[in-house]
Amino acid sequence: MIQVAINGYGTIGKRVADAVREQPDMEVLGVAKTRPNFEAETAIEKGFPLYAAVEERADQFGDAGLEIAGPVEELVEDADIVVDATPSGIGAQNKELYEEYDTPALYQGGEDADLVDVSFNARSNFEDAVGADHVRVVSCNTTGLSRVLAPLREAYGVEKVRATLVRRGGDPGQTSRGPINDILPNPVTIPSHHGPDVETIFDDLDIDTLGMKVPATLMHMHSLNVTLSEEVDASEVRDLFAEESRLFLIPERMDIDGSGKLKEYAHDSGRPRGDIWENCIWEESISTVGADLYLFQGIHQESDVVPENIDAIRAVLGEADAEESIETTDGTIGIGL
């Protein structure tokens, strides 16, 4: 069994821990937190050994009535691999720790691409991560874009991508985020960081991205225009996407007209936390004009990178190829709405 350490047990870390627990070839060695809170308590309730990420704050856990298994250094030393799910910028600070104990590490999309050996998306470049010491699982938006572009590149070729990303202001639990009553160009300059980030997966891709932030918390929304290398009928693209396990085509009959109903559907379907690991593409939005493809897709920013982290674990350790890993991950966590 692969012994997985998870450093950072917040929005992403707790979801990755739950997903690791479902895998037949992995187990959670422990999780690390910087301070006691409700997530630390639920980690212990779930049976995950809890480690102190900051030595100077270790006594806070005892004061809160929470038993810790030790310092994060012990967790890293004993692990086969670390999933760093700490806030943006902290992963870079932790790299030295992982190198000290010669433990390979996965980082999240908020870290700079030059921190790592390779940026990772399971559908697009799984093999590039085999044997790497430091791998970055790209952000929720880059993950969503990469999942769509990979099959399009393979089937038709891609000449140009233009994407407008309407981004939620913050996650439901991020009470300090905004805007509250505004619509912000974010950034106001072109491109947003998402295009260059996608190019860390496809280094020959021509892509422009624009970003906006809106007063919402549920999901991101992408308006996508892809110029293909050949003219294609929209029905062919729908059929192509239908073969991709991590692309959910929302049928018109469901009457799902936005993120609110999507999240409601996820809850009604029994998804943990109402998570949606797949890209959610409105089927009727898939349109073509000559070689230009258009579509809308929703991206659940709290969860779409979770299966990618699981696949990255196997890639780094050479435990499976892409097809085998994706199939295992999808089957165990329940991908397929």
Binding residues for D-glyceraldehyde 3-phosphate: 139-141, 194-195
Q: Is 280 a catalytic residue?
A: no
Binding residues: 11-12, 110, 139-141, 168, 194-195, 301
114 burial (CB, 10 Å; 0-12 / 13-18 / 19+) is exposed
Measure the CA–CA gap between 315 and 312, rounded to whole angstroms: 5
Per-residue CA distances from 265 to 130, 141, 245, 272, 337 (Å): 36, 21, 18, 12, 9
Per-residue CA distances from 333 to 75, 81, 307 (Å): 25, 20, 8
Question: Are 4 and 80 in contact, with CB atoms under 8 Å apart?
Answer: yes
The catalytically annotated residue of 76, 82, 105, 140 is 140
Write the DSSP string, 118-154: EEE-HHHHGGGGTT-SEEEEPPHHHHHHHHHHHHHHH
DSSP-derived 3-state class of residue 304: coil
CA angle 325, 326, 328 (to 5 degrees): 65
What Rg value do the Cα atoms of the chain yield, rounded?
Answer: 20
Quick one: tokens of 227? 């110029």
Measure the CA–CA gap between 225 and 145, rounded to whole angstroms: 11
Quick one: tokens of 104? 């390979």
Binding residues for NAD(+): 11-12, 110, 168, 301
Measure the CA–CA gap between 71 and 75, rounded to whole angstroms: 7
Catalytic sites, residue numbers: 140
